[in-house]
Amino acid sequence: MNRRLLVVLLTAVLGLTAVAAVPGDSSERGPETGVTLDGNSLDWGTLVRLLHAGPVSVRLAPRARTEMSRTREGGLRTVAAGQRVYGWNQALGPLKDRPLTESEQREFQKHVLRSHAAGSGPMLSGKVARLALILRANAMARAHMGVRPELVDRMLAMVNADVIPRMPEVGSLGTGDLQPMAAAGLSMMGESNPVDYRGTQRDPDSALRAAGLSAHFTPQAGEALALISGGSVLLARYVDALDRAERVADSFDGAFALFLEATRAEQGAFDPRTHEERGFGAETETARVTRALTCSSEWMTERGRQRSGEAEPRVQDATSVRAEPQIIGGLRDRITEGRSLAGREANSSSSNPLLFKGAKGYDFVMGGNWDYSQLGHEIDALNEQIADLAVLSETLSGRLLDPKWSYGLPANLAGGKVGLNSGMVQAESMTAALIPEIQVRANPAGTLSRPVKGGQEDHNTMAMASVRDLLANLDRTETVLGVQLMMGAQGIDLMRPKMGKLRLGSGSGRVWRTVRTRIAPLTEDRYLSPDVRAASALIHDDSIAGTVRSASARGSNSCAA
C-alpha cells in the first residue's frame, strides 16, 4: 500500500492529527519542529521557533480534543434549546437579527467565508500565514469557541503538509482577521483561494490532493465565524515585527560601536553608575553591551584622541552619543513588554461568541474579545520607537560625513583624493530621504477609527494598518542602519593610518571584520547601491546582531561590569 495513503487511513482510524510528514518526506525538507497545542503553552521561544522553522509537526493535545468535543456538544444543546447565537443560528453584522433555519446553518458557513474573502494587496509571507493558522488552532484548543476538533485537525494537517493559504494583507480593520482568514477558510474547504504548496502557488484542490489530504472540507455551524473572528493574523505579524525589532536593536549596538571607535568617543556616557542611578534595567543593559563591545579599545582614550590629532580634551560628546543607552533602552523595554503581550494573546480565546460551562449547561456569551485595541496601540508605540532609532542612526551617519562633527575624518568619508572622490555622501542622503517616509508611517493608525457596517461596527482598532506601517518601517530602518554600519567601518579604515598599532575594542573589532567579509573599503568612488544592499542584508539576516550578541556575552568582566 502507498505509504502516504497508509498514514491517512491510520489517521482517520486512530483519530490522530493528520500530518504529511510520512517517512521519507520530512528528511527531504530538513528536520521537523514538533509542537503540541493545548491552548495554554505557546511561549515566546516557541512562537519564534515556529515562525522560522522549516517543516513542522503540530498536533492537538488529547485533553484539548476531549474538552473541545464536550464543549461543542454542550453548545449544540444550547442552540437546540432555543438560544439565538450570533454566527450560529443568526446572521452577521448589520444582519445579526436575521435568524437562520437549521437547514441554512451549514450552508451559511460557506457564505460567510466567501463574502468575507474580499481582501487585496500583497500576500502575507508563508511563514507568517502558517504561524497565523497555528495561533488560531491554539486559540480553538482552549475549547471556548464551540468548534469541533476536526476543524483544528484540518488546519494542522495543511500546516504539517506545507499547504499554506495565500492571505491578503489589506482589508482587515484590525477588529478581527475577517478578510485574510476568510481566504484561508476557502482554501481549507478546497475552494477558490490559492495556496502555496512547498513554495509553489497552486489551486487548493490539486495541492491538497498532492499532499495526501482530502480535497474538500465542510465547516459546521459556528465554525466560520470562529475562524475569522479574532486576531491571529495580526498577532503572527506582530511576532514577526517584534523578532525583527530585536534584531534591529542588537544590530544598532554594533553599528554604534563602530561609530564610537571611528570618532574616538568619550566612554563616560556608558559608566554603569549613571544608568544604575536611573533605575531602568534595559538602559543599564544597553550601556553594558556598549562597554563590552568597546572593551580594551585604545582608540576611545585620551591617547587615541591625541593620536588622531585632537589638541584639546573632548569633555563630552553630542546628545546622540550620550543618550544612546536611554533611547535604545526604551526600545528594548517596549520589545520585552511586547513579548509578554504576545504570549498572553497567543494563549487566549479571541472570538465572538464564546462558550462557557454554566450552572445548567453551556452559555454562549456575545462580547468583544476579537478586539485588539491594546495590541494595536502597542504596535503603534513600537513603530514610534523604531522611527526614533532610524532618526538617531541617520543623525550619526551624518556626523561621520563632516570633518568637524566627526573630529577629523575626511569629508564625505571619501577614499583617495577628496574632491575627485565624493565618498559616501549620497548613500547618507538616500537614508535622509527615507526618514520622512518613516516618520509619516509612524503616525499611530490606532487613532483613526472608522465606523462601518451601518454603525454596527462603530469602533475599529485599525491595528492591521498599524502593523503594516511597522513592518514597512522595519524594512526602511534596516537600510538606514545598514548605511550607518558601512560608514562606521569606512571611518575606522580612514582613521587607521593615524592610529598606528592602537587597538579597537574586542567586540567592535569583530563587528568591523563582519562588515568587511561582505563590503570592501571604499578606496575610490564606485557603484554604491550593491554596498547598500549588502549592508542592509547584514542587518536583516542577523549577521551583525549575532556578532553583537556573541561579542557582548564574551566581553571582559572589567569592561562590562
At 226-267, the pLDDT tens digits run: 999 989 999 999 999 999 999 999 999 999 999 999 999 999
DSSP 477-501: HHHHHHHHHHHHHHHHHHHHHHHTT
Same domain, 225 and 256: no
Q: Is 273 exposed, middle or buried (0-12, 13-18, 19+ CB in 10 A)?
A: exposed
DSSP 486-553: HHHHHHHHHHHHHHTTPPPPHHHHHHHHHHHTT----SS----HHHHHHHHHHHHTTHHHHHHHHHHH
Ranking 105-114, 118-127, 237-246 by mean pLDDT, the lowest is: 105-114
> Is 405 strand, coil or helix?
coil
The stretch 146-153 carries a mean pLDDT of 97
Which of residues 23 and 233 earns the better pLDDT score?
Answer: 233
Q: Is residue 531's pLDDT more than 50?
A: yes
Same domain, 420 and 531: yes
Which of residues 302 and 29 earns the better pLDDT score?
Answer: 302
Same domain, 208 and 278: no
The angle formed by the CA atoms of residues 414, 418 and 424, to the nearest 5 degrees, is: 25
Same domain, 390 and 428: yes
The stretch 4-14 carries a mean pLDDT of 37
Q: Is 333 exposed, middle or buried (0-12, 13-18, 19+ CB in 10 A)?
A: middle
- Cα-Cα-Cα-Cα dihedral sign, residues 42, 46, 47, 53: negative
The model's confidence at residue 458, banded by pLDDT at 50, 70 and 90, is low
Determine contact, residues 262/495, Cβ cutoff 8 Å.
yes
Which of residues 8 and 407 earns the better pLDDT score?
Answer: 407
pLDDT at 128: 98
The stretch 196-222 carries a mean pLDDT of 95
Cα 304 from Cα 292, distance rounded (Å): 18
Helix, strand, coil share of the chain (percent; to 5)? 60, 10, 35
pLDDT at 301: 95
Same domain, 475 and 527: yes
Which of residues 384 and 82 earns the better pLDDT score?
Answer: 384
Cα 409 from Cα 265, distance rounded (Å): 13
Cα 113 from Cα 491, distance rounded (Å): 57
CATH number at residue 521: 1.20.200.10
The stretch 387-410 carries a mean pLDDT of 97
Closest of 495, 479, 493 to residue 538, by C-alpha:
479
Average pLDDT, the chain: 90
Same domain, 98 and 178: yes
| 178-189 and 102-116 helices, crossing angle to 10° | 120
Cα 407 from Cα 308, distance rounded (Å): 8
Closest of 111, 289, 239 to residue 185, by C-alpha:
111
How distant, in Å, are the alpha carbons of 97, 99, 222, 352, 354 from that of 91?
7, 6, 10, 13, 16
Same domain, 262 and 134: no
Cα 178 from Cα 225, distance rounded (Å): 9
Q: Is residue 351 part of a domain?
A: no
Closest of 342, 478, 495, 536 to residue 413, by C-alpha:
495
Last residue of a domain, one of 177, 212, 230: 230
Q: Is residue 16's pLDDT more than 60?
A: no
pLDDT at 417: 94
Mean pLDDT highest for which of 12-16, 76-80, 423-427, 456-460? 423-427
Same domain, 504 and 439: yes
DSSP state of 124: P
Q: Is residue 411 part of a domain?
A: yes
pLDDT at 7: 36
Give how many domains the chain has, as a whole number: 2
Amino acid identity of residue 550, one-letter, is: S
CATH number at residue 51: 1.10.275.10
pLDDT at 314: 84
Same domain, 202 and 265: no
Q: Is residue 24's pLDDT more than 70?
A: no
Q: Is residue 113 part of a domain?
A: yes
Mean pLDDT highest for which of 107-116, 454-463, 534-543? 534-543
- Residue 216 C-alpha cell reads as 474538500
Q: Is residue 139's pLDDT more than 70?
A: yes
pLDDT at 193: 96
DSSP state of 452: B
Q: Is residue 368 part of a domain?
A: no
Which of residues 92 and 343 earns the better pLDDT score?
Answer: 343
Per-residue model confidence as pLDDT tens digits over 324-339? 999 999 999 999 999 9
Same domain, 146 and 249: no
Determine contact, residues 128/237, Cβ cutoff 8 Å.
yes
Give 214's contacts (C-beta < 8 A, 6+ positions apart): 190, 208
pLDDT at 554: 67
Q: Is residue 348 part of a domain?
A: no
Provide the edge-to-edge strand list for the sheet that holds 200-202.
163-165, 195-197, 200-202
Same domain, 274 and 217: no
Q: Is residue 457 part of a domain?
A: no
- Beta-carbon-side half-sphere exposure of residue 50 (alpha carbons within 13 Å): 28
Q: Is residue 389's pLDDT more than 60?
A: yes
Last residue of a domain, one of 230, 258, 284: 230
Query: Which long-range contacts does 555-558 make (Cβ < 8 Å, 24+ apart)?
Result: 555/289, 555/291, 555/292, 555/293, 555/295, 555/506, 555/507, 556/292, 556/295, 556/296, 556/506, 558/295
Give 206's contacts (C-beta < 8 A, 6+ positions apart): none
Cα 462 from Cα 173, distance rounded (Å): 5
pLDDT at 560: 58
Last residue of a domain, one of 197, 230, 263: 230
> Is 178 strand, coil or helix?
helix
Cα 61 from Cα 36, distance rounded (Å): 6
Q: Is residue 11's pLDDT more than 70?
A: no
Residue with the three cell numbers 497552486 = 202
DSSP state of 16: P
Amino acid identity of residue 436, one-letter, is: P
Whether the ω angle into residue 168 lies within 30 degrees of 0, i.e. cis, is: no
Q: Is residue 526's pLDDT more than 80?
A: yes
Q: Is residue 529 part of a domain?
A: yes
Per-residue model confidence as pLDDT tens digits over 30-41? 678 999 999 999
pLDDT at 97: 72
**Structural domain containing residue 391:** 239-343+376-447+465-552
Q: Is residue 8 part of a domain?
A: yes
Residue with the three cell numbers 484539548 = 64
Helices first, then strands: H and E counts in the chain: 23, 9
Same domain, 243 and 127: no
pLDDT at 4: 40
Per-residue model confidence as pLDDT tens digits over 433-446? 999 999 999 999 88
Determine contact, residues 96/90, Cβ cutoff 8 Å.
yes
Give 493's contacts (C-beta < 8 A, 6+ positions apart): 521
